[in-house]
Amino acid sequence: MGERVRAALAASDEAVLCGALEAAEHPAQGTLLDGVALCADPADALAEAQAAIDFSVPASSLAAAAAAAERGVAYVCGTPGWSERERAELEAHGARIPVVWAANFSVSVNVLFHLTRRAGELLGDAFDTEIVEIHHRAKRDAPSGTALFLAEQVAAARGQRLADHLVLERAGDTGARPAGAIGVQTLRGGDNPGEHTVLFVGRGERLELAHRSATRDHFAAGALRAALWAVDRPPGFYGMDEVLGI
């Protein structure tokens, strides 16, 4: 994702790369990227920045977000896999700077979130909901943050608490499908950038809403759009709904 964000910046007339952050043990440390030295210290990476875009892991993201808050830098985060405590810590930085977090920065995926919630409202409890996602073999978190956010849209549409209805695995004699269950199935393999399908399954009919990625470029484009949007915003914790005006 870092490479795709760099490509988006290179093609932009509104933003330029002014810092680059990577783990201290990364073999490319010190390498020049578009004239900017790759570094391991968030403070150094953010020294000249108005906005930061971060796709990494929660521990690294929290360090970067704290550094951004210290310097008044708008912070855009696409990192998945947060615990409740980590997510609360990230949200707290919204008291000092604009923070934009999204399960997925693709504009079309955010339209999918919107459509999934609306379909859940219209179809109601008469339709069972299952979500299937597939990603590349190196993806660390499962299910994907996008799949879980889709499940949240269904739960919200039904007035449910997702934790009470989420089903992540089935094996053995499971019995009949519980009423109101929201199933999420995870597949991993190859170099797939990501596919998500939401199935609303009724009696004698089925509605499917799907998004399939061929590249990661649209994730980077959406993150850059969020960063440009966030620069002039007041402190707060924002999502792509606000960025896109959905």
What positions carry a catalytic annotation? 135, 139
Judge residue 102's burial from the number of C-beta atoms within 10 Å of its C-beta, 0-12 exposed, 13-18 middle, 19 or more buried.
Answer: buried
Tokens of 43: 């403070």
Contact, 156 vs 129, CB < 8 A? Answer: no
H or E segment and range at residue 204: none
Taking residue 209's Cβ as centre, other Cβ atoms within 10 Å add up to 18
**Separation of alpha carbons 199 and 130, rounded Å:** 5
Which residue is listed with tokens 């043990």?
A: 25
- Dmax of the chain from CA atoms? 60
Question: What's the rounded Cα separation, in Å, for the pair 33 and 136?
Answer: 26
Element (H, E) at 100: strand 98-101
Angle (deg, nearest 10), helices 58-71 and 84-92: 10
Which tokens sit at 34? 């578009």
Q: For residues 100 and 239, is the Cβ–Cβ distance under 8 A?
A: yes
